[in-house]
Amino acid sequence: MAIEFSKKLTAHETSIPGVVLYDLPVHGDNRGWFKENWQREKMVALGLPDFRPVQNNISFNEKAGTSRGIHAEPWDKFISVATGRIFGAWVDLRQGPTFGAVFTAELDPSQAIFIPRGVGNAFQTLEDNTAYTYLVNDHWTADAQGQYTFLNLADESAGIDWPISLAQAELSDKDKAHPRLTDVVPMPPKKVLVLGADGQLGRALRRLYDGDASVEFAGRAEFDITSAEAFSARNWKNYSTVINAAAYTAVDAAETAEGRAVAWANNVTAVSRLAKIAVEQDLTLVHVSSDYVFDGSRDIHTEDEEFTPLGVYGQTKAAGDAIVNVIPRHYIVRTSWVIGEGNNFVRVMDSLAERGIEPSVVNDQIGRLSFAEDIAAGIRHLLDSHAAYGTYNLSNDGKPQSWAEIAGDVFELSGRERSAVTGVTTEEYFHGKAAAPRPLNSVLDLGKIKQSGFEPRPARDALKAYLGQSALAE
Protein backbone atom coordinates (compact mmCIF):
# COMPACT_ATOMS: atom_id res chain seq x y z
CA MET A 1 0.00 0.00 0.00
CA ALA A 2 1.57 3.31 -1.12
CA ILE A 3 2.02 6.21 1.29
CA GLU A 4 -0.34 9.10 0.67
CA PHE A 5 1.79 12.21 0.14
CA SER A 6 1.08 15.84 1.01
CA LYS A 7 -1.70 15.32 3.52
CA LYS A 8 -2.64 18.36 5.54
CA LEU A 9 -1.68 18.14 9.22
CA THR A 10 -5.05 17.21 10.73
CA ALA A 11 -6.31 15.92 14.09
CA HIS A 12 -9.08 13.32 14.39
CA GLU A 13 -10.74 12.63 17.75
CA THR A 14 -11.32 8.94 18.54
CA SER A 15 -13.71 6.94 20.71
CA ILE A 16 -11.23 7.01 23.63
CA PRO A 17 -10.98 10.39 25.42
CA GLY A 18 -7.56 11.94 24.90
CA VAL A 19 -6.54 9.55 22.11
CA VAL A 20 -6.12 11.61 18.94
CA LEU A 21 -5.17 10.34 15.47
CA TYR A 22 -3.11 12.68 13.28
CA ASP A 23 -2.57 12.88 9.53
CA LEU A 24 1.03 13.92 8.86
CA PRO A 25 2.31 15.70 5.75
CA VAL A 26 4.76 13.38 3.95
CA HIS A 27 6.76 14.84 1.07
CA GLY A 28 8.08 12.41 -1.55
CA ASP A 29 10.04 12.39 -4.78
CA ASN A 30 12.20 9.99 -6.79
CA ARG A 31 14.60 9.60 -3.85
CA GLY A 32 12.01 8.55 -1.25
CA TRP A 33 10.08 10.61 1.29
CA PHE A 34 10.50 13.06 4.19
CA LYS A 35 8.16 14.03 7.02
CA GLU A 36 8.15 16.11 10.21
CA ASN A 37 7.26 13.34 12.63
CA TRP A 38 7.04 15.68 15.61
CA GLN A 39 6.82 19.44 15.21
CA ARG A 40 5.98 20.99 18.56
CA GLU A 41 4.81 24.42 17.42
CA LYS A 42 2.45 23.18 14.71
CA MET A 43 1.09 20.26 16.71
CA VAL A 44 0.46 22.20 19.91
CA ALA A 45 -1.36 24.81 17.82
CA LEU A 46 -3.50 21.97 16.47
CA GLY A 47 -4.43 20.92 20.02
CA LEU A 48 -1.90 18.18 20.79
CA PRO A 49 -0.94 18.40 24.49
CA ASP A 50 2.52 19.88 24.97
CA PHE A 51 3.57 16.66 26.65
CA ARG A 52 7.32 17.42 26.71
CA PRO A 53 8.82 14.18 25.32
CA VAL A 54 12.19 13.06 26.68
CA GLN A 55 12.86 9.68 25.03
CA ASN A 56 12.41 8.21 21.55
CA ASN A 57 12.08 4.42 21.14
CA ILE A 58 11.88 2.33 17.97
CA SER A 59 10.48 -1.20 17.66
CA PHE A 60 11.76 -2.97 14.55
CA ASN A 61 9.69 -5.97 13.40
CA GLU A 62 11.12 -8.33 10.81
CA LYS A 63 7.96 -10.21 9.83
CA ALA A 64 4.36 -9.29 9.07
CA GLY A 65 2.09 -10.57 11.81
CA THR A 66 4.36 -9.59 14.68
CA SER A 67 1.99 -8.54 17.48
CA ARG A 68 2.88 -6.61 20.63
CA GLY A 69 0.80 -5.40 23.60
CA ILE A 70 -1.58 -4.56 25.13
CA HIS A 71 0.56 -2.36 27.43
CA ALA A 72 -0.54 0.76 29.31
CA GLU A 73 2.47 2.67 30.63
CA PRO A 74 2.54 5.44 33.24
CA TRP A 75 3.44 8.10 30.67
CA ASP A 76 2.08 9.69 27.49
CA LYS A 77 3.16 8.47 24.04
CA PHE A 78 3.19 9.91 20.53
CA ILE A 79 3.31 6.92 18.18
CA SER A 80 4.02 6.72 14.47
CA VAL A 81 5.35 4.35 11.82
CA ALA A 82 8.82 4.99 10.39
CA THR A 83 8.50 2.37 7.68
CA GLY A 84 5.95 -0.30 6.83
CA ARG A 85 2.37 -0.53 7.99
CA ILE A 86 0.60 -1.62 11.19
CA PHE A 87 -2.83 -2.40 12.57
CA GLY A 88 -3.03 -0.56 15.89
CA ALA A 89 -5.38 -1.31 18.77
CA TRP A 90 -5.80 0.88 21.83
CA VAL A 91 -7.83 0.06 24.95
CA ASP A 92 -8.64 2.48 27.75
CA LEU A 93 -7.27 0.87 30.92
CA ARG A 94 -7.62 3.99 33.06
CA GLN A 95 -9.84 4.03 36.11
CA GLY A 96 -13.11 5.70 35.10
CA PRO A 97 -16.27 5.44 33.01
CA THR A 98 -14.46 4.74 29.71
CA PHE A 99 -12.50 1.76 31.08
CA GLY A 100 -12.46 -0.91 28.37
CA ALA A 101 -13.21 1.41 25.42
CA VAL A 102 -11.45 0.28 22.23
CA PHE A 103 -10.17 2.12 19.15
CA THR A 104 -8.43 0.52 16.16
CA ALA A 105 -6.85 1.91 13.00
CA GLU A 106 -4.31 1.08 10.31
CA LEU A 107 -1.27 3.37 10.35
CA ASP A 108 1.39 4.03 7.75
CA PRO A 109 4.15 6.70 7.87
CA SER A 110 1.63 9.44 7.01
CA GLN A 111 -0.16 9.04 10.36
CA ALA A 112 0.55 9.30 14.07
CA ILE A 113 -1.48 8.86 17.24
CA PHE A 114 -1.27 10.41 20.70
CA ILE A 115 -1.89 7.94 23.56
CA PRO A 116 -2.37 9.34 27.08
CA ARG A 117 -1.03 7.66 30.21
CA GLY A 118 -3.04 4.56 31.10
CA VAL A 119 -4.36 3.74 27.62
CA GLY A 120 -3.21 0.31 26.48
CA ASN A 121 -1.19 0.25 23.28
CA ALA A 122 -0.89 -2.72 20.89
CA PHE A 123 -0.04 -3.25 17.24
CA GLN A 124 0.28 -5.94 14.61
CA THR A 125 2.62 -5.47 11.66
CA LEU A 126 1.04 -5.78 8.22
CA GLU A 127 4.33 -5.71 6.27
CA ASP A 128 7.79 -7.14 6.76
CA ASN A 129 10.50 -4.81 8.09
CA THR A 130 8.11 -2.46 9.88
CA ALA A 131 9.54 0.09 12.34
CA TYR A 132 7.20 1.45 15.02
CA THR A 133 8.33 4.56 16.92
CA TYR A 134 7.41 5.93 20.35
CA LEU A 135 8.04 9.44 21.58
CA VAL A 136 7.46 9.40 25.36
CA ASN A 137 7.52 11.99 28.14
CA ASP A 138 9.28 9.97 30.83
CA HIS A 139 12.48 7.97 30.93
CA TRP A 140 12.07 4.21 30.92
CA THR A 141 13.49 2.49 34.00
CA ALA A 142 13.34 -1.12 35.14
CA ASP A 143 11.26 -0.27 38.22
CA ALA A 144 8.73 1.59 36.04
CA GLN A 145 7.46 -1.76 34.77
CA GLY A 146 5.79 -2.28 38.12
CA GLN A 147 3.48 0.61 37.22
CA TYR A 148 2.32 -0.87 33.89
CA THR A 149 -1.19 -2.18 33.29
CA PHE A 150 -1.63 -5.04 30.83
CA LEU A 151 -4.48 -6.64 28.86
CA ASN A 152 -4.43 -9.88 26.87
CA LEU A 153 -4.37 -9.39 23.10
CA ALA A 154 -7.08 -12.04 22.76
CA ASP A 155 -9.44 -10.54 25.37
CA GLU A 156 -12.98 -11.41 24.31
CA SER A 157 -14.64 -8.30 25.72
CA ALA A 158 -12.29 -6.00 23.79
CA GLY A 159 -13.21 -7.96 20.66
CA ILE A 160 -10.26 -6.73 18.60
CA ASP A 161 -10.51 -8.04 15.03
CA TRP A 162 -6.81 -8.69 14.32
CA PRO A 163 -6.11 -8.85 10.55
CA ILE A 164 -3.77 -11.79 11.11
CA SER A 165 -5.11 -14.45 13.47
CA LEU A 166 -3.27 -14.43 16.79
CA ALA A 167 -2.85 -18.18 16.37
CA GLN A 168 -0.74 -17.43 13.29
CA ALA A 169 0.91 -14.27 14.61
CA GLU A 170 4.27 -13.88 16.35
CA LEU A 171 3.68 -13.13 20.08
CA SER A 172 5.92 -13.12 23.11
CA ASP A 173 5.23 -15.51 25.97
CA LYS A 174 4.72 -12.50 28.27
CA ASP A 175 2.05 -11.02 26.02
CA LYS A 176 0.26 -14.37 25.85
CA ALA A 177 0.08 -14.44 29.66
CA HIS A 178 -1.52 -11.03 30.18
CA PRO A 179 -4.90 -11.03 32.04
CA ARG A 180 -8.40 -10.66 30.64
CA LEU A 181 -10.23 -7.38 31.22
CA THR A 182 -12.18 -8.73 34.19
CA ASP A 183 -8.88 -9.28 36.01
CA VAL A 184 -7.23 -6.00 35.05
CA VAL A 185 -6.67 -3.48 37.83
CA PRO A 186 -7.36 -0.08 36.21
CA MET A 187 -4.56 2.44 36.26
CA PRO A 188 -5.50 5.13 38.80
CA PRO A 189 -5.14 8.81 37.86
CA LYS A 190 -2.21 10.84 39.04
CA LYS A 191 -2.94 12.42 42.41
CA VAL A 192 -3.58 15.92 43.64
CA LEU A 193 -1.40 16.75 46.65
CA VAL A 194 -2.67 19.31 49.17
CA LEU A 195 0.07 20.88 51.31
CA GLY A 196 -0.83 22.73 54.49
CA ALA A 197 -3.77 20.38 54.92
CA ASP A 198 -4.26 21.21 58.62
CA GLY A 199 -4.84 24.95 58.19
CA GLN A 200 -8.15 26.72 57.62
CA LEU A 201 -8.11 26.23 53.85
CA GLY A 202 -6.54 22.79 54.11
CA ARG A 203 -9.36 21.57 56.35
CA ALA A 204 -11.94 22.97 53.94
CA LEU A 205 -10.23 21.10 51.10
CA ARG A 206 -10.29 17.91 53.19
CA ARG A 207 -14.06 18.23 53.57
CA LEU A 208 -14.59 19.10 49.91
CA TYR A 209 -12.57 16.12 48.63
CA ASP A 210 -13.65 13.69 51.34
CA GLY A 211 -13.72 10.16 49.92
CA ASP A 212 -11.78 11.07 46.77
CA ALA A 213 -8.81 8.67 46.68
CA SER A 214 -7.12 10.76 43.98
CA VAL A 215 -6.50 13.61 46.45
CA GLU A 216 -3.76 13.24 49.07
CA PHE A 217 -3.42 15.52 52.10
CA ALA A 218 -0.24 16.46 53.92
CA GLY A 219 0.00 18.64 57.00
CA ARG A 220 3.29 19.82 58.43
CA ALA A 221 3.82 16.44 60.13
CA GLU A 222 3.64 14.66 56.76
CA PHE A 223 5.36 17.33 54.67
CA ASP A 224 7.32 20.22 56.17
CA ILE A 225 7.58 22.73 53.32
CA THR A 226 10.66 24.32 54.93
CA SER A 227 12.56 21.02 54.71
CA ALA A 228 14.56 20.36 51.55
CA GLU A 229 14.52 16.66 52.40
CA ALA A 230 10.71 16.61 52.22
CA PHE A 231 10.91 17.61 48.55
CA SER A 232 13.64 15.15 47.58
CA ALA A 233 12.00 12.21 49.38
CA ARG A 234 8.73 12.30 47.42
CA ASN A 235 8.10 10.66 44.04
CA TRP A 236 6.59 13.59 42.16
CA LYS A 237 5.80 11.46 39.11
CA ASN A 238 2.74 10.22 41.01
CA TYR A 239 1.12 13.68 41.01
CA SER A 240 -0.50 15.94 38.46
CA THR A 241 -1.30 18.89 40.73
CA VAL A 242 -0.10 20.44 43.98
CA ILE A 243 -2.34 22.79 45.98
CA ASN A 244 -0.15 24.88 48.25
CA ALA A 245 -2.35 25.87 51.17
CA ALA A 246 0.66 26.20 53.48
CA ALA A 247 1.94 29.63 54.47
CA TYR A 248 3.24 31.71 57.35
CA THR A 249 0.45 34.18 58.10
CA ALA A 250 1.48 35.77 61.43
CA VAL A 251 1.41 39.30 60.03
CA ASP A 252 2.67 41.11 63.12
CA ALA A 253 5.24 38.48 64.12
CA ALA A 254 6.71 38.68 60.62
CA GLU A 255 8.01 42.15 61.50
CA THR A 256 10.37 40.68 64.13
CA ALA A 257 13.83 39.33 63.29
CA GLU A 258 12.81 35.75 64.04
CA GLY A 259 9.44 36.04 62.33
CA ARG A 260 10.95 37.61 59.23
CA ALA A 261 13.21 34.60 58.72
CA VAL A 262 10.35 32.14 59.22
CA ALA A 263 8.08 34.10 56.88
CA TRP A 264 10.66 34.06 54.08
CA ALA A 265 11.41 30.37 54.63
CA ASN A 266 7.73 29.39 54.33
CA ASN A 267 6.43 31.92 51.81
CA VAL A 268 9.40 32.26 49.47
CA THR A 269 12.10 29.59 49.81
CA ALA A 270 9.57 26.75 50.05
CA VAL A 271 7.61 28.18 47.13
CA SER A 272 10.76 28.31 45.01
CA ARG A 273 11.32 24.61 45.70
CA LEU A 274 7.73 23.87 44.72
CA ALA A 275 8.12 25.90 41.55
CA LYS A 276 11.26 23.98 40.57
CA ILE A 277 9.44 20.68 41.06
CA ALA A 278 6.39 21.92 39.12
CA VAL A 279 8.52 22.95 36.13
CA GLU A 280 10.63 19.77 36.13
CA GLN A 281 7.64 17.43 36.50
CA ASP A 282 5.14 19.48 34.45
CA LEU A 283 2.78 19.81 37.42
CA THR A 284 -0.04 22.27 37.93
CA LEU A 285 0.63 24.39 41.02
CA VAL A 286 -2.23 26.10 42.83
CA HIS A 287 -0.85 28.79 45.13
CA VAL A 288 -2.83 30.91 47.57
CA SER A 289 -2.03 34.62 47.61
CA SER A 290 -3.16 37.55 49.74
CA ASP A 291 -4.52 41.07 49.55
CA TYR A 292 -1.39 42.08 51.54
CA VAL A 293 0.61 42.16 48.29
CA PHE A 294 -1.07 45.57 47.77
CA ASP A 295 -0.86 48.77 49.82
CA GLY A 296 -4.63 49.29 49.75
CA SER A 297 -4.47 52.65 48.03
CA ARG A 298 -6.86 51.67 45.22
CA ASP A 299 -10.63 51.35 45.51
CA ILE A 300 -10.54 47.84 44.06
CA HIS A 301 -7.68 45.47 43.27
CA THR A 302 -7.45 43.65 39.94
CA GLU A 303 -5.30 40.63 39.14
CA ASP A 304 -2.83 42.60 37.04
CA GLU A 305 -2.13 45.32 39.62
CA GLU A 306 1.56 45.84 40.41
CA PHE A 307 2.73 44.67 43.83
CA THR A 308 3.04 47.36 46.51
CA PRO A 309 3.33 45.44 49.82
CA LEU A 310 3.60 47.44 53.03
CA GLY A 311 5.07 44.91 55.46
CA VAL A 312 7.23 41.79 55.61
CA TYR A 313 4.31 39.36 55.29
CA GLY A 314 3.06 41.14 52.17
CA GLN A 315 6.57 41.27 50.76
CA THR A 316 7.02 37.50 51.15
CA LYS A 317 3.64 36.78 49.58
CA ALA A 318 4.45 39.06 46.64
CA ALA A 319 7.80 37.32 46.16
CA GLY A 320 6.05 33.93 46.22
CA ASP A 321 3.53 35.11 43.65
CA ALA A 322 6.31 36.32 41.35
CA ILE A 323 7.97 32.89 41.54
CA VAL A 324 4.76 30.96 40.83
CA ASN A 325 3.91 33.26 37.92
CA VAL A 326 6.72 31.79 35.81
CA ILE A 327 5.40 28.20 36.08
CA PRO A 328 3.68 27.26 32.81
CA ARG A 329 0.75 25.56 34.58
CA HIS A 330 -0.26 27.61 37.61
CA TYR A 331 -3.20 29.17 39.39
CA ILE A 332 -2.55 31.98 41.85
CA VAL A 333 -5.71 32.32 43.97
CA ARG A 334 -5.67 35.69 45.73
CA THR A 335 -7.86 35.97 48.82
CA SER A 336 -8.59 38.38 51.65
CA TRP A 337 -9.71 38.07 55.27
CA VAL A 338 -9.88 34.26 55.38
CA ILE A 339 -12.42 32.60 57.69
CA GLY A 340 -12.44 28.84 58.24
CA GLU A 341 -12.27 26.17 60.89
CA GLY A 342 -10.30 27.24 63.94
CA ASN A 343 -9.56 30.57 65.59
CA ASN A 344 -10.38 33.61 63.45
CA PHE A 345 -12.00 37.04 63.59
CA VAL A 346 -15.59 35.79 63.30
CA ARG A 347 -15.13 33.20 66.04
CA VAL A 348 -13.55 35.79 68.32
CA MET A 349 -16.41 38.24 67.78
CA ASP A 350 -18.96 35.47 68.34
CA SER A 351 -17.25 34.55 71.60
CA LEU A 352 -17.19 38.19 72.75
CA ALA A 353 -20.90 38.53 71.98
CA GLU A 354 -21.70 35.40 73.99
CA ARG A 355 -19.72 36.74 76.96
CA GLY A 356 -21.29 40.18 76.82
CA ILE A 357 -18.03 41.96 75.98
CA GLU A 358 -18.31 45.16 73.93
CA PRO A 359 -15.25 45.42 71.68
CA SER A 360 -13.59 48.24 69.78
CA VAL A 361 -13.06 47.17 66.18
CA VAL A 362 -11.25 48.81 63.26
CA ASN A 363 -13.62 50.71 60.97
CA ASP A 364 -11.30 52.14 58.29
CA GLN A 365 -10.09 48.88 56.74
CA ILE A 366 -12.50 47.83 53.98
CA GLY A 367 -12.81 44.46 52.28
CA ARG A 368 -14.77 41.23 52.02
CA LEU A 369 -14.51 38.01 53.99
CA SER A 370 -13.21 34.92 52.17
CA PHE A 371 -14.66 31.78 53.67
CA ALA A 372 -12.33 28.79 53.34
CA GLU A 373 -15.22 26.66 52.09
CA ASP A 374 -15.71 29.01 49.14
CA ILE A 375 -11.99 29.31 48.40
CA ALA A 376 -11.79 25.51 48.27
CA ALA A 377 -14.80 25.34 45.94
CA GLY A 378 -13.24 27.99 43.70
CA ILE A 379 -9.96 26.08 43.49
CA ARG A 380 -11.81 22.89 42.58
CA HIS A 381 -13.75 24.79 39.92
CA LEU A 382 -10.55 26.10 38.32
CA LEU A 383 -9.04 22.61 38.21
CA ASP A 384 -12.17 20.76 37.09
CA SER A 385 -13.09 23.31 34.42
CA HIS A 386 -9.50 23.57 33.11
CA ALA A 387 -9.78 27.34 33.30
CA ALA A 388 -7.00 29.38 31.71
CA TYR A 389 -3.89 29.41 33.88
CA GLY A 390 -3.08 32.61 35.73
CA THR A 391 -4.10 34.71 38.72
CA TYR A 392 -7.68 34.81 40.04
CA ASN A 393 -9.05 37.00 42.81
CA LEU A 394 -11.33 34.95 45.03
CA SER A 395 -13.23 36.29 48.02
CA ASN A 396 -16.89 36.16 48.87
CA ASP A 397 -19.11 38.60 47.03
CA GLY A 398 -21.36 41.44 48.16
CA LYS A 399 -20.97 44.96 49.45
CA PRO A 400 -17.51 45.63 50.94
CA GLN A 401 -17.52 46.17 54.69
CA SER A 402 -15.21 47.29 57.47
CA TRP A 403 -14.12 44.94 60.23
CA ALA A 404 -16.41 46.86 62.58
CA GLU A 405 -19.41 46.33 60.29
CA ILE A 406 -18.68 42.62 60.09
CA ALA A 407 -18.37 42.48 63.87
CA GLY A 408 -21.78 44.19 64.07
CA ASP A 409 -23.24 41.47 61.80
CA VAL A 410 -21.81 38.76 64.06
CA PHE A 411 -23.22 40.40 67.17
CA GLU A 412 -26.62 40.76 65.53
CA LEU A 413 -26.62 37.09 64.51
CA SER A 414 -25.75 36.22 68.08
CA GLY A 415 -28.76 38.10 69.43
CA ARG A 416 -26.83 41.15 70.63
CA GLU A 417 -27.12 44.76 69.56
CA ARG A 418 -24.89 46.07 66.79
CA SER A 419 -24.29 49.12 68.98
CA ALA A 420 -22.20 46.92 71.28
CA VAL A 421 -19.40 47.23 68.69
CA THR A 422 -17.47 50.54 68.72
CA GLY A 423 -15.63 51.55 65.57
CA VAL A 424 -12.09 52.95 65.82
CA THR A 425 -9.42 53.81 63.27
CA THR A 426 -6.47 51.56 62.58
CA GLU A 427 -4.17 54.14 64.10
CA GLU A 428 -6.26 54.31 67.27
CA TYR A 429 -6.55 50.51 67.57
CA PHE A 430 -2.81 49.86 67.28
CA HIS A 431 -1.63 52.90 69.24
CA GLY A 432 1.28 51.86 71.43
CA LYS A 433 1.34 48.33 69.97
CA ALA A 434 3.96 46.65 67.75
CA ALA A 435 2.02 45.89 64.61
CA ALA A 436 2.58 45.44 60.90
CA PRO A 437 1.12 47.99 58.48
CA ARG A 438 -2.22 46.94 56.96
CA PRO A 439 -3.76 47.85 53.60
CA LEU A 440 -6.81 50.03 54.25
CA ASN A 441 -8.64 48.76 51.18
CA SER A 442 -8.61 45.03 50.47
CA VAL A 443 -11.54 44.82 48.04
CA LEU A 444 -10.76 42.36 45.24
CA ASP A 445 -12.29 42.58 41.76
CA LEU A 446 -14.13 39.28 41.21
CA GLY A 447 -14.86 39.73 37.50
CA LYS A 448 -12.29 37.22 36.26
CA ILE A 449 -13.32 34.32 38.51
CA LYS A 450 -16.96 34.96 37.60
CA GLN A 451 -16.12 34.90 33.88
CA SER A 452 -14.58 31.46 34.44
CA GLY A 453 -18.01 30.23 35.58
CA PHE A 454 -17.64 30.43 39.36
CA GLU A 455 -20.02 32.63 41.39
CA PRO A 456 -18.79 33.30 44.93
CA ARG A 457 -21.51 33.42 47.57
CA PRO A 458 -22.40 36.81 49.08
CA ALA A 459 -20.35 37.25 52.23
CA ARG A 460 -23.48 37.90 54.31
CA ASP A 461 -25.00 34.57 53.27
CA ALA A 462 -21.74 32.75 53.96
CA LEU A 463 -21.48 34.38 57.38
CA LYS A 464 -24.95 33.37 58.49
CA ALA A 465 -24.31 29.81 57.26
CA TYR A 466 -20.98 29.76 59.09
CA LEU A 467 -22.62 30.80 62.35
CA GLY A 468 -25.64 28.57 61.76
CA GLN A 469 -28.10 31.44 61.98
CA SER A 470 -31.02 32.78 59.94
CA ALA A 471 -30.56 35.46 57.30
CA LEU A 472 -29.76 38.97 58.35
CA ALA A 473 -32.71 41.29 58.17
CA GLU A 474 -32.45 43.58 55.21
Alpha-carbon gap, residue 301 to 357, rounded angstroms? 34
Contact 72, 121 (CB under 8 A): yes
Contact 214, 239 (CB under 8 A): no
Strand partners, 80: 112, 133
State the amino acid at position 382 in one-letter form: L
Contact 220, 267 (CB under 8 A): no
Rounding to the nearest 10 degrees, give the CA dihedral for residues 135, 139, 140, 141. 180
Nearest to 325 by CA among 247, 391, 379, 383: 391
Alpha-carbon gap, residue 246 to 269, rounded angstroms? 12
Alpha-carbon gap, residue 319 to 307, rounded angstroms? 9
Alpha-carbon gap, residue 10 to 21, rounded angstroms? 8
The catalytic site residues sit at 71, 134
Helices 312-324 and 257-264 cross at an angle (nearest 10°) of: 10
Residue 60 makes CB contacts below 8 A (sequence gap 6+) with 129, 130, 131, 132
Alpha-carbon gap, residue 196 to 194, rounded angstroms? 7
Contact 340, 372 (CB under 8 A): yes
